[in-house]
Homo-oligomer: A and B are copies of this chain.
Amino acid sequence: MARTISGLTVRDIRTPTSRTLAGSDAVHTDPDYSATYVVLTTDARDSIEGHGMTFTIGRGNEVVVAAVRALQHLIVGSNYEDLAADLGGFWDRLTFESQLRWIGPEKGAIHLATAAIVNAVWDLYAKIERKPVWKLVADMTPEQFVACIDFRYLTDALTRDEALEILRARFATRAEREAQMRKDGYPAYITSAGWMGYPDDKVRRLCREALASGWSRFKIKVGRDSDANVHRAALVREEIGPRAVMMMDANQAWDVGEAIEFMRPLARFNPLWIEEPTSPDDVLGHATIRRAIKPIGVATGEHAANRVMFKQLMQAGAIDFCQFDNCRLGGLSEALAVLLLAAKFGVPVCPHAGGLGLCEYAQHVSLIDYICVSGSLDNRMIEFADHLHEHFKDPVIVRGDRYMAPNAPGFSIEMLPASLAAFEFPGGSEWRTK
């Protein structure tokens, strides 16, 4: 049965997280976790819809909504089977549109919008196949997997043939890893104890609660006040004990020289990594910091715009941990390319999550990484923050410090109609009454 993408709707959804300072950090002091939320409809009788979203933190979400509208002529009217058979080609048409690419290319609002649309196509595809997205990809042949990827600008670091080689090497043992994931889940770490805007006693209480729930890896926020950084690191280390894993996140607050200096007094707390020590665009700066602060690792990626930036972060030996965001990149199609790059360069992927819908996305990406691409859990874990999951139809399921593999068809990103209605900006009930 032929199926055509017959419609696209896009909504501006915002949650007022700035009221509690959940999500706050050194740079993003008052985020309202938000989504540019896309629904694709088709002309088929089964009424299956594709849902996709991109994450923002409030103001500016309306700009991404406008960018989705600018792209929609590239999807509405398309034949679904053609799309599904050539996701790499579809991705190239979206990102290389002759006029629209000027306002990127492959970065900023237009690329965030691309992610919402591309992920909605993946959700639709998985629902039609009645599989969760991770399983849809895990059931692809290596040839089908690489057909989802646009290799433009990658070939000096990763060719299609090299990608096939990586995928084929893990192909025979996929079933074992899939069974393991269904049984044990995927390792995770928790961020939500350490938001910047929280007072000490709240951080202490959240650390204790997280420990009691089985968490063993904790991330804290650091910033431009060195004394405050040391104070917070000491407090959290005291609560979680010497053996728990601690990570630190500066959220781009520092210049290169400052990063090296600010990390000096923090080394004694034994952080596994410093995340986003400086500008997300500064590949060479990250490499300089990494050389200077060894053995502390350098992590970045949630603001790295596209696969070309990740290619260079790896070529330059700039990072120990790759933290791409499945909707900062142009959706899963580009994320698959970065998984392959990371496997080639031997860099573990620990995807950015914690924002509205990001945990829901990230679990699929890491399952694909383990089952199909890297075949390894070494130094790999998914970020987790314990809020906003109640708005999703199939929220993540976490047991202890692991994400359990999702079973529902699709990309786990479909929000509840009541949440969409309440948090739509500015007309929803949560915004009208405040």
Q: Show the binding face of A for B, using Cβ within 8 Å.
A: 27-32, 56-64, 66-67, 70, 96-112, 152-156, 252, 255-258, 278-285, 288, 303, 305-306, 308-309, 311-312, 315-316
Contacts and interface: CB of A to CB of B under 8 A. Distances in A.
B252 A279 contact: no
A98 B281 contact: no
Copies in the complex: 2
Contacts of A303: 105
A359 B133 CA distance: 49
Given A60-B110, A66-B63, A316 B284 contact: yes
A156 B279 CA distance: 12
A114 to B, nearest CB: 11
Given A107-B107, A107-B305, A153 B279 contact: yes
Contacts of A64: 103
- The 4 tightest CB contacts between A and B, nearest first, are A108-B108, A156-B256, A58-B99, A59-B99
Given A280-B105, A282-B308, A63 B110 contact: yes
Contact of A155 (B28, B98, B155, B256): B256
A88 to B, nearest CB: 15
A63 B103 contact: yes
B105 A109 contact: no
Nearest to A102: B57
26 contacts: A27-B98, A28-B102, A30-B99, A56-B102, A58-B102, A60-B99, A60-B100, A60-B103, A63-B63, A63-B110, A103-B108, A103-B112, A105-B303, A107-B281, A107-B305, A108-B108, A153-B278, A154-B255, A156-B255, A156-B257, A156-B288, A281-B308, A281-B309, A282-B311, A284-B311, A284-B315
A369 to B, nearest CB: 23
B27 A106 contact: no
B281 A305 contact: yes
Contacts of A70: 59-60, 62-63
A99, A112, A258: residue with the most chain B Cβ atoms closer than 10 Å? A99
Contacts of A278: 153
Nearest to A109: B109
Contact of A66 (B30, B66, B101, B305): B66
Contacts of A56: 99, 102-103
Contacts of A28: 98-99, 101-102
Nearest to A151: B255
A187 to B, nearest CB: 27
A380 B73 CA distance: 42
Contacts of A285: 153, 156, 308, 312
